Amino acid sequence: MAKPLLPDELWKRIEPLLPAPKKRRFRYPGRKPIDDRKALTGILFVLKTGIPWEDLPLEMGCGSGMTCWRRLRDWQKAGVWQQLHEVLLAELNANDQIDFSRVSVDSRSMRAVGGGEKTGPSPVDRRKKGSKHHVLVDAHGIPLTATLSSANENDIKQLEPLIDSVPPVRGKPGHPRSRPDSAYADRAYDSEPHRRRLRQRGIKPMIARRKTAHGSGLGKVRWVVERTLGWLAGKRKLRLRTDHRDDIHEALLSLGCCLICFDVFIASLC
């Protein structure tokens, strides 16, 4: 039996974060808006399958694809996915599933069909327009934060924004934590100024150096971020960028990170 797209346990965490619906007019109220849970089910279906929004089957009862698209846009603007991510991270931390002893950083390029915001000529795809996912994970591979950039932007430019955008992780007594002890990255992040700025933040840089022999052993630690990027690519709407607006794709990226956190939390309870 197939797993439900929107389990009750996930919905119980999302529902309190959704903004209140607009008050309907007394006279001529118009058609009743689609239920939030049904719209979110449609969003998750598009995220998982990668189909165009306009092709969302009406038989699912989730409304039209553009209704789901607008609901995703509004919830992203209201900060719903960021709040959900923080809630899930707090639950994972309370269950001793977050390890701040080290974090790993990496990126993944994808083609952007038709271009759009935050796209550029991809150096790995014959200069066709593309974008990049930049992800920072903890020692277990749990995504702490993710950003979107154009495909021709150097990875090193996203290192500090990723480090600084890690939300304060609650769930345990004491001050919420957001800074790791050390940061691991490959040769694309080799930069002495950035190493210095990481040390100023109290983070030990563990970054491979260019023009040195392979075999540093960092891959034994860094593989978790590559696995997480693979999990995100398993959401087909994140494998190939088709949305021209960057806020829509960033919303899907944030939602993908939330789903990974939720799956890890549920697995830890089994």
Tell me how far CA of residue 126 lies from CA of 93, 115, 123, 152, 242, in angstroms.
42, 14, 6, 12, 18
Q: What is the mean pLDDT of residues 118-139?
A: 94
The predicted structure's pLDDT at residue 2: 62
Residue 81 · residue 101 · CB < 8 Å = no
The predicted structure's pLDDT at residue 1: 46
217 or 132: whose pLDDT is higher? 132
Q: What is the mean pLDDT of residues 51-78?
A: 94
The predicted structure's pLDDT at residue 132: 96
* pTM of this structure: 0.93
Per-residue pLDDT reduced to its tens digit, 163-208: 999 999 999 999 999 999 999 999 999 999 999 999 999 999 999 8
Confidence tier at 217 by pLDDT (50, 70, 90): low
Q: Which of 12-16, 33-37, 225-229, 230-234 has the lowest mean pLDDT?
A: 33-37
Burial of 12 (0-12, 13-18, 19+ CB in 10 A): exposed
The predicted structure's pLDDT at residue 182: 96
Residue 198 · residue 183 · CB < 8 Å = yes
Confidence tier at 215 by pLDDT (50, 70, 90): low
The SS3 of residue 96 is coil
